[in-house]
Amino acid sequence: MTSARPASLPAARLLDTVLDRTVAPGYTRLGLAVRRRLPTWPADPAAGALAGRVAAVTGASSGLGIATAEQLARLGAEVRLVVRDTEKGEGVRRELAERVPGATFVVDRCDVGDLDDVRRAATDLAAALGDRPLDVLVHNAGAMPPERTTSAQGHELSMAVHVLGPVLLTDLLRERLAASERGARVVLVTSGGMYAQKLRADDPEFEQGDYSPTTAYARSKRAQVELAPVLAERWRPASVAVMHPGWADTPGVAESLPGFHKLTGRVLRDSDEGADTTTWLAATEPAPPTGLLWHDRRPRPTSLLPTTRTTDPDRARLWAWVRGATGL
Helix locations, the chain, DSSP H: 4-21, 29-36, 63-74, 86-99, 115-129, 157-159, 165-172, 174-178, 213-234, 251-256, 258-264, 271-283, 312-326
Instruction: Find all residues with CB under 8 Å of 249, minimum gap 6, and list them.
Output: 261, 265, 268, 269, 270, 271, 274
Task: Go through the chain and tell me how many residues it has.
Answer: 328
Q: Could you write out the DSSP letters of every residue in 206-234? A: --SS---HHHHHHHHHHHHHHHHHHHHHH
- From the list 27, 195, 211, 217, the catalytic residue is 217
Q: Rounded to the nearest 5 degrees, what angle is found at the Cα of 221, between the Cα atoms of 264 and 54?
A: 95
Sheet-wide strand order for 298-300: 105-109, 78-83, 54-58, 136-139, 185-189, 239-243, 292-295, 298-300
CB 144 within 8 A of CB 219: no
211 is catalytic: no
Closest CA to 300 of 228, 252, 231, 248: 228
Active site residues: 217
